[in-house]
Structure 1
Amino acid sequence: MTQPVTWRRYAVLAALLVLVLLWGLRSGSLPIGWSDLANSLWGGAETSANQPLYRTVVWDIRLPRLLMAALIGAGLAISGACLQALFRNPLAEPTILGITSGATAFALGTMILAPGFFLLLTSLLGVATLPLLASLGAASTLALMLVLARQHSFDPNRVILIGIAINVFAGAIISVCAYVASDQQLRILSFWGLGSLAAATWNKIPLLLVAIGLGTAIIVAHARFLNALLLGESEAHHLGFSVKRAKQWCLLGVTLISGSAVAFTGMIGFVGLVMPHIMRLLFGPNHRHLLWYSAMAGAGLLVFADTLARTLIAPIEMPVGIITALIGGPFFVILLMYSRLWHPNT
């Protein structure tokens, strides 16, 4: 009986994701009807004089953007579910732990404070330069956090405080970059700070797919370990897991996802916090399915948020990071309030 229920859940989430994607393809400063959308996607007969324009908008602008939103939303949600299990803390996610801000500070710092080195890397690596720098920044941030947290036996509350401190320090570096940046560099910095999918193109999708796909594969492969870790590290060890090595692999997966996400869209928060909690409340804590539920829900949330960003005040476009913050901020406050009620002595 459990298996049919599980597949029905997947089917419902997949259907909702497809509906949100179709809504995103139709919506924007140039609305597209259902028949025109179908003809644009599948190459049917032209039903209006604007059909070539619709086809260009759908294939060259909206589709790569929505695919990028789905990939990044899925990756951030999986990262959040993984970090919450690793640190046994309901508030853990890449943004709150300082991973995304650390990746941003490292990449922007290299671009603005060491422009010669950045140009050299760009000539060698091309479009892979920013993802590589952001991933290195995410990895460095994680390494720093682990070193500091180890001094306090990875206490969940200490981990969050360390993440806040890293966010403050990374914010200071970003402020220095803003102070010395040129006008063009300030625009890039603003893009990264608020989060946007406006720069999405087809040539970025394969690189993003590889990075997020590899990170997701690593995390999903450790789903049984994440389940065991919910019982405690000693219990996971007695169940036969190499806790230290498994944690390192999981954090590597989070680093790949967070670094690539920041490189292409800037800082997008709260997706990794909101969706794992909602999926856990609805369907339970089994990470064998929770990771995939979170990925599908995270993809849908970011596609939904990006569509709102393009349509709320069209033709002006809002940064998608503002929309996710408006959705995730109240949820974060509610989560803090209920955490207080659950643990009144903390």
Structure 2
Amino acid sequence: MEDKDFWRSEKVAFLALASVKGISFWTIHKIAQSGVGYKDSLKDPEKAGLGKIFKDTSFDGFEGQERLWAIGLGLARQLAASGVNVVFKNEIAFPAKLRAISDAPEWLFIQGNAENLTKKAMAIVGTRKPSLDGLFLTKIVVAALANSKMVTVSGLALGIDQIAHVESIRFGLPTIAVLGTGIFQNYPKGSEPLRHEILNSGGTIISEYLPHQSYSSENFVRRNRLQAALGDILVPAEWQIKSGTAHTVKYASKYGKLIYNVCLPGTHTLKPELEFSAKEYGAKTLELPLDIHKLLSACDGIEIEIETEKEIQSESQVNPESKSEVFTLESEPFPVDDEASASKSRQLPLL
């Protein structure tokens, strides 16, 4: 059985650490891969290499740690109020498709329907400045999936990505938006209405970045690997050899995904990226709408592997003997009296 109490306390400690100025995404990532555990890192910052940061930010000592724990609880409640949950890689609820890749995220923030992350999916990505042909091809691909059991995956970026999301909603397909920023960031600017539509239509928004983490070119490249991993099929609707989408194509090849370029009849020779990706990554090219049946046949052939709890637990790096009281990032409110009881007993909750 999975120790849910342990994971709940780890989440509060994780969020507490994520709130400290000077503790970056990569610092927490290093802690995750060390197997030390977030709660233990909060309890003994010196051992985790965080002693100086805790002193510089006045979070050292019992009172400092108590305040930091309260901040973690506050952020947990804020996430819960927004319908956001955080799942760690070694939890059963972590998406199997993401756990399976060699560079899997250590955690994932999930808003909306988490079941979409387990379903057959097509990632549809492309340029931020699409041509009329690119827009048409994206719409044809999504429309062809209507009445299917597929979900779509894209990155919420302007251009092809947002068209893929909008058309998915139009045709009743759940769609997954993979962010290149923290889940509380409004990026790209003005995308919040579309995010609400995605959620209200049974879709999902995910990010591996810390809740308030801003964008960077590196973040977007890393984000692309998650799109490739979640999609059983990748359709780069319009792209260039040197572009962000090119990273997604490369990741899809690395993960053994099916890659289908699309073009209008007679335009194959005008797109050098098609020949390039065919030679480098084994991508196939479909002329639409003539070859749409080939794309649908590929969708029908997708099989999803189901992980067992034993397989997941065997990969766990976190100390299984760690125990804790119950805190949750789910819909029920966090206990409000633990902070007061902690002050009386001079012992941090869960530590």
- Normalising by structure 2, we get a TM-score of 0.27
**Greater per-residue helix proportion:** 1
Work out which structure has the larger RCO, using CA pairs closer than 8 Å and 6 or more positions apart in sequence: 1
- Normalising by structure 1, we get a TM-score of 0.27
**Greater per-residue strand proportion:** 2
Q: Larger radius of gyration, structure 1 or 2? A: 2
